[in-house]
């Protein structure tokens, strides 16, 4: 009885001391620790309701996985409910499941739980379906630290969205040991000032959003060669070295309000020479150095107590109490809650630690919980959780971070960005990969090239054969893939065969090398310093490969600087710069000031058109100021829903051919002084001499007011009354007399084109010079171009325009070069060709000309057509080349005879600007221009808003009688969504 009274008396005395301390602390405003800057009456009141056991439990954080079964989930609930632990650390799983579990555990917890996670590079470090930002080594190469602050803030927002209050980041270890098996790419680099400034930006971003940052791993894990997950690293440095290097970033962050710190499992004899004692369990390190000498007041977390750096020396429960006695506030990954609580109670009873000291730490935890908003805890909303965690703004920031980090280490003779595409023959090689990589796909957006794959274990004979093949290319662009991230992987996964291949290639011809992996791997690549260009990306992800491909062709510029020294060739601070905007960049809408959610109407409109069977599918692209910010494919090739549309699929462009071929050539010729729209057809086309077409002025022709007949159904004159073809027109097999393919199993007579041209020349010309849209002059345009240039029409277009743009898919008769599943079918022609048209032109006249005409017949994907439209938007210039001289495009894009005729020279213009049912978006200015296509295509540019818009569909599938696309006005309404989003 006396013992109990004495115990109770001591308890009362302890309570008085704690309350005095807590009132003093909770009212403190001098501390820079964010949760200590304001009084917390909530913490005071909660504290007074807690039993001694519950207070001990507040210092315990248990591991939780959201990818386990219901029985496991229930077992965690029992620990929360029975022992009232203070917090959770989540590991692998998914965000929805984790949020749901958090809601459950918070609801049954007497005191709200601190929920934590290791999200050094974002939630993607632990959770599926979430974002991963660049590793810290990549961030170490960024000069604009405001981006890192924004990343910290965004990671904090995402943490809060799933109920996380503490993120165990940033890593402030200075990685001055290239062989470090556990830190490496997780560090900002080897320079203490750089590490500190980057860590401060990350910390401030998180804590400004009320998520507690956590600097790790105190007192510095950067120069170790043992992974503390599997053993106890030995740090043999002097105290002076520790002070000048390892401790530097910790001290600075602590002086600037760092909310929490994590103590590492390391043996550091200069601070504590107890054998086999990790720093986590060392009172001289945690209490005397960290809390005493440095004076740190924030929360001190242990590193995970189930790691072998401590766990192989002490069992669960014992290791926890030792960590508490050392001075840690929060015990991370307690594996035996019951034993831990009992062992702490024993330690209090034995006088190893006072109740007052325990309570002091508990109050600190409660104050942190109050600051984090847990005093007013609300369940995590499950609605739209995945969308919120993958928002476009965050993806745009992620892209900016990658763009700012990727480092160009060599660029001989300014080889990058690659400039004159027309004079290059490129090869894309994936070294270490056996199938197409994201890097190769990204490169192909700029120009299609031959791709090669080199497995890590390629045979020497295959290697030699490939090297011989590659000799025929002007430049070889090599991506090095599937490397190991950690130094513990031998040579980071670079094989001898890979080195032989790369070394021989570099020494044989111009080679651009992009290394997708740990930057230290550059030291394992032989003769890399002799490459034409070297790009360090720090890691391999879809995004890094995407951005690296843009750097190669100038969509983005190089900005990053090496945060570590690799060898004498690649040193800290190295990094060349190049300019951006040379060619298209591919970005999120936020990069051009548009919120992605404001563009959801595009998807709604296209899906409505698909649902109402106006079109089976579509490909849509929008660019602003040279940045492609929207590129999506919808639906399927046909209503059979067998082949989904991809953004790289080729569509029949129909009348968009007019502005993409005939007009492109004529404008190019005018820029060279070889064509004048004020001259006549007879001046440029000998067959027009002596006909009623001879004196037609080209300005009238291109504005469709020359009096030409609208169109002629050439094919009808080839059919007999019984439906069969006349003998001199078509055959079902190819021969010398019938060599020209019109469709599958249908070949036309070799001279039939002459008959078509004669029929055009015999057609009437109206004396009433009113606007009548006509195909006829554009059918003749290839002959005009060929007469002026002496070159075949296709060759001239390729040599002067398409090859320079890298517009590889702009082509006639795509069946000759592309697989069928990449070409979108058009109509089932039941009258003339009696088949589904797939890879051959829809327009009958163009088909009868062998698929090559100036009014129809061109195929292409949205991206390549957009390049041409960007050329027009920039008045004939693209990638520092003037392809159409003399401001010809701007002249051709203007109205010539307004108000009587709204057309430009060859281009369409808004018929009635502002009309919601017009041929252009209601908000499209009068200065905008482009063209529509019968098959359901649309290409438009807006010089005032610097917009390029491409809409490709096959509304004629299965029949041209389907006019729902016109009735819905989908093409112009989609563009209107963009205008409204810009507002």
Question: What are the 10-residue block averages of pLDDT along the chain, 983 residues in total?
Answer: 35 43 49 92 96 97 97 97 97 97 98 98 97 98 98 98 98 89 90 97 98 95 74 84 94 97 93 92 97 97 90 92 97 96 96 96 97 96 96 97 98 97 98 97 98 94 95 97 90 95 96 97 97 98 98 98 97 97 97 97 98 98 98 98 98 98 98 97 97 97 96 94 92 96 97 96 92 96 98 98 98 98 97 96 98 98 98 98 97 94 96 90 97 98 98 98 97 98 95
**Taking each helix axis from N to C terminus, what angle separates 337-349 and 318-326, rounded to the nearest 10 degrees?**
50
What is the model's pLDDT at position 938? 98
CA angle 912, 914, 918 (to 5 degrees): 50
Cα–Cα dist 704/777, whole Å? 9
Give the containing element (helix H, strand E) for 681. Answer: helix 681-684
**Residue 855 appears among annotated catalytic residues:** no
**Residue 229 appears among annotated catalytic residues:** yes
What is the model's pLDDT at position 7? 38
Strand, helix or coil for residue 476? strand
Q: 351 preceded by cis ω (within 30°)? A: no
What is the model's pLDDT at position 177? 84
DSSP string, 376-442: G--PPP-TTHHHHHT-HHHHHHHHHHHHHH-EEEEEGGG--S---GGG--EEEEEET-SS--HHHHH
Residue spans of the domains in the chain: they are 53-357+379-387, 406-583, 601-982
Cα–Cα dist 167/207, whole Å? 10
DSSP string, 569-627: SS-TT--B---S-SS-EE--GGGGT--GGGGHHHHHHHHHHHHTTS-SEEEEEEEETTE
Strands 166-167 vs 114-117: parallel, antiparallel or unpaired: parallel
Q: Are 13 and 355 within 8 A, CB to CB?
A: no
Cα–Cα dist 250/827, whole Å? 69
Q: Which of 191, 272, 303, 874 is catalytic?
A: 303
Strand, helix or coil for residue 465? helix
For the purposes of burial, counting CB atoms within 10 Å of the CB of 127, is it exposed (0-12), middle (13-18) or buried (19 or more)? buried
Cα–Cα dist 739/726, whole Å? 16
Q: Which of 229, 288, 523, 817 is catalytic?
A: 229
Euclidean distance between the first and the last CA atom of the chain, given in angstroms as a whole number: 79
What is the model's pLDDT at position 901? 93
Residue 967 Cα distances to 32, 173, 584, angstroms: 64, 63, 33
What is the model's pLDDT at position 29? 54
Strands 901-904 vs 929-933: parallel, antiparallel or unpaired: unpaired
Cα–Cα dist 413/425, whole Å? 18
Cβ neighbors of 496 (< 8 A, separation 6 or more) are: none
The CATH class of the 53-357+379-387 domain is: alpha beta
Cα dihedral 388, 216, 252, 404, rounded to 10, equals: -50
Cβ neighbors of 823 (< 8 A, separation 6 or more) are: 649, 650, 814, 815, 838, 839, 859
Query: Partners of 213 in the beta sheet?
Result: none
Quote the tokens at residue 523: 């030291």
Cα–Cα dist 136/188, whole Å? 5
The CATH class of the 601-982 domain is: alpha beta
Q: Are 396 and 587 within 8 A, CB to CB?
A: yes
What is the model's pLDDT at position 134? 98
Residues in the chain: 983
DSSP string, 403-421: HHH-EEEEEGGG--S---G
Q: 330 preceded by cis ω (within 30°)? A: no
The arrangement of secondary structure in 406-583, i.e. its CATH architecture, is 3-Layer(aba) Sandwich (3.40)
Residue 636 is given by DSSP the state: B
- C-alpha 479: how far from chain center: 18
Cα–Cα dist 129/390, whole Å? 8
Q: Are 409 and 544 within 8 A, CB to CB?
A: no
């Amino acid at each position: 009885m006396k013992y109990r009274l004495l115990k109770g008396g001591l308890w009362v005395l302890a309570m008085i001391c704690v309350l005095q301390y807590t009132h003093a602390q909770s009212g403190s405003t001098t501390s820079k620790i964010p949760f200590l800057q304001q009084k917390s009456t909530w913490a005071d009141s909660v504290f007074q309701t807690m039993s001694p056991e519950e207070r001990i439990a507040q210092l315990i954080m248990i591991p939780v996985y959201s990818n386990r079964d219901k029985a496991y989930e229930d077992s965690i609930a029992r620990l929360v409910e029975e022992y009232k632990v203070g917090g959770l650390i989540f590991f692998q799983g998914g965000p929805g499941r984790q949020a749901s579990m958090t809601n459950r555990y918070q609801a049954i917890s007497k005191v709200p739980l601190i929920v934590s996670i290791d999200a050094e590079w974002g939630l993607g470090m632990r959770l599926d379906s979430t974002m991963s930002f660049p590793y810290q080594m990549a961030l170490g190469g960024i000069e604009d630290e405001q981006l890192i602050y924004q990343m910290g803030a965004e990671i904090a927002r995402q943490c809060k969205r799933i109920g996380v209050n503490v993120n165990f980041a940033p890593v402030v270890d200075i990685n001055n040991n290239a062989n470090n098996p556990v830190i490496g790419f997780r560090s900002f680099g080897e320079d203490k000032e750089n590490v500190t400034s980057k860590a401060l930006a990350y910390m401030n971003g998180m804590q400004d959003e009320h998520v507690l940052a956590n600097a790790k791993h105190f007192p510095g894990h950067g120069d170790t060669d043992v992974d503390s997950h599997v053993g106890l690293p030995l740090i043999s440095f002097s105290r002076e070295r520790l002070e000048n290097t390892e401790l530097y970033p910790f001290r600075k962050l602590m002086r600037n309000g760092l909310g929490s710190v994590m103590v590492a499992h390391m043996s550091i004899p200069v601070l504590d020479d107890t054998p086999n004692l990790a720093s986590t369990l060392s009172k001289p390190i945690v209490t005397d150095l960290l809390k005493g000498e440095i004076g740190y007041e924030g929360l001190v977390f242990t590193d995970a107590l189930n790691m072998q750096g401590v766990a192989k020396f002490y069992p669960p429960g014992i290791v926890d109490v030792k960590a508490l006695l050392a001075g840690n506030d929060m015990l991370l990954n307690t594996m035996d809650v019951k034993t831990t609580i009992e062992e702490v109670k024993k330690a209090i009873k034995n006088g190893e630690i006072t109740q007052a000291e325990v309570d002091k730490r508990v109050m600190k935890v409660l104050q942190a919980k109050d600051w984090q908003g847990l005093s007013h805890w609300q369940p995590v909303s499950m609605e739209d959780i995945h969308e919120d965690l993958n928002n476009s703004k965050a993806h745009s920031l992620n892209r900016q971070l990658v763009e700012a980090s990727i480092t160009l280490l060599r660029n001989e003779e300014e080889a990058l960005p690659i400039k004159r595409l027309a004079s290059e023959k490129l090869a894309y090689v994936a070294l270490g990969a056996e199938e197409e990589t994201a890097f190769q796909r990204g490169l192909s957006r700029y120009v299609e090239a031959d791709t090669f794959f080199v497995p890590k274990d390629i045979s020497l004979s295959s290697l030699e054969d490939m090297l011989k093949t590659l000799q025929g290319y002007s430049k070889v662009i090599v991506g090095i893939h599937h490397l190991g991230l950690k130094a513990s992987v031998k040579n980071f996964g670079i094989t001898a065969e890979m080195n032989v291949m790369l070394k021989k290639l570099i020494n044989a011809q111009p080679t651009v090398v992009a290394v997708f992996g740990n930057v230290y791997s550059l030291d394992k690549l032989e003769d890399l310093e002799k490459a034409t260009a070297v790009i360090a990306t720090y890691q391999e992800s879809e995004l890094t490969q995407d951005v690296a491909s843009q750097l190669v062709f100038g969509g983005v510029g190089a900005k990053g600087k090496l945060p570590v020294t690799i060898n004498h060739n690649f040193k800290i601070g190295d990094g060349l710069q190049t300019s951006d905007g040379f060619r298209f960049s591919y970005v999120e809408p936020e990069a051009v000031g548009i919120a992605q959610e404001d563009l959801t109407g595009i998807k709604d409109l296209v899906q409505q058109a698909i649902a109402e069977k106006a079109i089976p599918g579509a490909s849509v692209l929008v660019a602003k100021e040279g940045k492609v910010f929207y590129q999506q494919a919808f639906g399927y090739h046909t209503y059979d829903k067998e082949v989904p549309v991809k953004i790289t699929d080729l569509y029949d462009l129909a009348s968009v051919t007019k502005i993409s071929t005939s007009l492109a050539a004529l404008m190019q010729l005018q820029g060279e002084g070889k064509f004048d729209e004020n001259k006549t057809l007879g001046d440029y086309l000998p067959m027009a001499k002596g006909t009623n077409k001879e004196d037609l002025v080209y300005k009238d022709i291109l504005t469709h007011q020359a009096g030409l007949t609208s169109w002629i159904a050439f094919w009808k004159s080839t059919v007999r009354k019984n439906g069969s073809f006349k003998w001199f027109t078509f055959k079902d097999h190819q021969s010398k007399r019938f060599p020209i393919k019109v469709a599958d199993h249908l070949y036309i007579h070799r001279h039939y084109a002459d008959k078509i041209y004669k029929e055009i020349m015999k057609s009437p010309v109206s004396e009433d010079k009113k606007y009548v849209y006509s195909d006829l002059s554009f059918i003749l345009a290839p002959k005009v171009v060929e007469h002026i240039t002496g070159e075949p029409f296709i060759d001239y277009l390729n040599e002067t325009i398409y090859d320079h743009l890298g517009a590889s898919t702009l082509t006639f008769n795509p069946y000759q070069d592309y697989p069928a599943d990449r070409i979108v079918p058009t109509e089932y022609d039941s009258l003339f060709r009696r088949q589904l048209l797939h890879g051959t032109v829809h327009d009958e006249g163009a088909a009868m000309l062998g698929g090559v005409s100036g009014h129809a017949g061109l195929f292409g994907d949205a991206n390549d057509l957009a390049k041409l439209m960007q050329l027009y938007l920039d008045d004939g210039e693209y990638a520092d080349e003037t392809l159409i001289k003399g401001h010809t495009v701007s002249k051709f894009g203007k109205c010539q005879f307004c108000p009587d005729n709204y057309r430009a020279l060859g281009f369409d213009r808004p018929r009635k600007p502002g009309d919601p049912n017009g041929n252009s978006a209601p908000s499209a200015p009068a200065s905008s221009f482009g063209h529509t296509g019968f098959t359901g295509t649309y290409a438009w540019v807006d010089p005032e808003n610097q917009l390029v818009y491409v809409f490709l569909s096959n509304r004629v599938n299965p029949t041209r009688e389907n006019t729902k696309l016109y009735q819905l006005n989908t093409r112009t309404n989609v563009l209107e969504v963009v205008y409204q989003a810009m507002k």
